[in-house]
Amino acid sequence: MVDQATAVLHDPSTYVSGVPFDVLERLRRGPGIVRVGEPEQAGWPEGTGYWLVLRHADVVDVLRNPTAFSSHAGGTQIRDPATPADLAYVRRMMLNMDPPEHSRLRRMLARSFTPRAVAALERRIADHCRRIVDRMLAGPASVDLARDVAADLPLLVLSDVLGVPAQDRWLLYDWSNRVIGWQDPDYAISAAFDASSGTDLAAAAVALRPAPDPDGRMPDPRSRAGMPDLYAYAAALGEHKRSHPGDDVMSILMAQRDDAGGHVTIEEFENLFWLFAVAGNETLRNGIPGGMVALLAHPDAQRALRADPGRVPDAVEEMLRWWTPVMVFRRTATVDTEIAGQPIAAGDKVVVSFASANRDETVFDRPDAFDIGRRPTAHLAFGQGPHFCLGAQLARLQMRTLFTELLTRTSWIEADGEPRWLRSNFQRGVKRLPVRWTA
């Protein structure tokens, strides 16, 4: 039974129909940690298998102990990099570093979010949300909230953070699709950006975009060769910021010196750009429609928020817990150890399940219920430990601001068709969410 259950959890096609929370609950209440096989799948060669950690307390313990459970050793994705060169490549990203290397870049990046820069971002987020809702209300009463509303906000804000011209922002959408949606044929070859509408820098990058092979597959987006267009754009943008700094966060970062007097290198900037363009996009892009899915399924909650918009911040925390955009993350054991009484050998892959931990009945009362009055919250939607999401407060602000705009400027929002979920065992993605609004 466990083998069949873990096969369901590993198979990305499972999630097209939704997260199997019943399976997660049964295994969480039972062993709490299970061995998962990695059979060969399309675009995913057979792997060694991994330990899936299901309980909230054990997930927190793993994430808080980078010495025993490394991000650097094998990267943070379940699937092993295909070659030693690919592993070396992913290790250059902050996401896949351990202290102290990780700490150096994180400190510099944190210092780049100066009070002045954050205040400017807050004003821009308010403007972006107002204009997005203006555009929605000026159009038909039926809209795809996932694509036409939720997708654009993080792109606009990321453009502000990265200093990317706004007309190039849909490049970020395509890059994010190709990385996060590599298991989904609708996203793996994403090409929504129109090069004729962007800058010369964008046109030069698009010219380097790889083409699908005869089977329709793109090269591995976790390899440098798989994303030449992103890296070309990032390198040119980084050089420009060093010579012509603006007031965006990345310009501030490029001007900084670390504790040893060194600058962020162009290669480090490229990898930070990748991290923001992909990871900085996806949690919010799927957290917003995920939150709306909750309100569509719980009309009493929608009524309560309309009656008292001051409850939106608490509701956003519950949306993040209930939906959990990032479902899993990997570490690699560096020493022989144990989790929940299960021996773990050095070199074993250890994958924490946020989707399970955020429904742990020992932490959350009635964990499957969507309860906007749930306080305090201990959800792990932004991770835990040294890799706790640096953009968590910015993501929260965007969700709070957009939901306040949506709920105060309409009288009702309801489903207008069936949603479509992403084919992925990593990201709980919303590809389509048709809704109908009433003024």
**What is the enclosing helix (H) or strand (E) of 183?**
none
Query: What would the two tokens of residue 136 be?
Result: 């929605």
Which residues are within 8 A (CB) of 84 and not within 5 positions of it... i.e. 6 or more apart?
Answer: none
Distance in angstroms (rounded) separating the CA atoms of residues 410 and 422: 28
Domain boundaries of the chain, sorted by first residue: 2-438
Instruction: For tokens 């609708």, name the residue.
Output: 186
Distance in angstroms (rounded) separating the CA atoms of residues 50 and 345: 11
Distance of CA 301 to the CA centre of its chain: 25
Question: To 5 degrees, how large is the angle CA 176–CA 182–CA 185?
Answer: 110
Please, is 410 exposed, middle or buried when counting C-beta atoms within 10 Å of its C-beta (0-12, 13-18, 19+)? middle
390-406 tens-digit pLDDT? 889 999 999 999 999 99
DSSP classification of residue 265: P
Q: How many CA atoms lie within 13 A of 215 on its CB side?
A: 5
Per-residue pLDDT tens digits of the chain, which is 439 residues long: 457 889 999 999 999 999 999 999 999 999 999 999 999 887 778 899 999 999 999 999 999 999 999 999 999 999 998 889 889 888 988 999 999 999 988 888 888 888 888 888 899 999 999 999 999 999 999 999 999 999 999 999 999 888 899 999 999 999 998 988 888 988 888 888 988 999 999 999 999 999 888 877 888 887 888 899 999 999 998 888 888 888 888 888 888 877 777 788 888 888 888 888 888 788 899 999 999 999 999 999 999 999 999 999 999 999 999 999 999 999 999 999 999 999 999 999 999 999 999 999 999 999 999 999 998 789 999 999 999 998 899 999 999 999 999 999 999 999 999 999 999 999 999 999 999 999 9
Q: In DSSP terms, which residues pair with 69 in a beta bridge?
A: 333
Instruction: For tokens 């010369």, name the residue.
Output: 200
pTM of the entire structure?
A: 0.93
Distance in angstroms (rounded) separating the CA atoms of residues 50 and 76: 12
One DSSP character per residue, 187-249 reads HHT-----GGGS-HHHHHHHTTPPPP-TTSPPPPTTSGGG-HHHHHHHHHHHHHHHHS--SSH
Distance in angstroms (rounded) separating the CA atoms of residues 172 and 274: 9
Q: Are 323 and 291 a contacting pair, CB within 8 Å? A: yes
Query: What would the two tokens of residue 73 be?
Result: 């050793």
**Could you tell me which of 179, 244, 199, 180 has the C-alpha nearest to residue 15?**
180
Distance in angstroms (rounded) separating the CA atoms of residues 372 and 368: 13
One DSSP character per residue, 274-304 reads HHHHHHHHHHHHHHHHHHHHHHHH-HHHHHH
DSSP classification of residue 55: S
- Which CATH architecture does the domain made up of 2-438 adopt? Orthogonal Bundle (1.10)
- CA dihedral sign, ordered 32, 33, 34, 38: positive
Strands 342-344 and 349-353, bridge-based pairing: unpaired
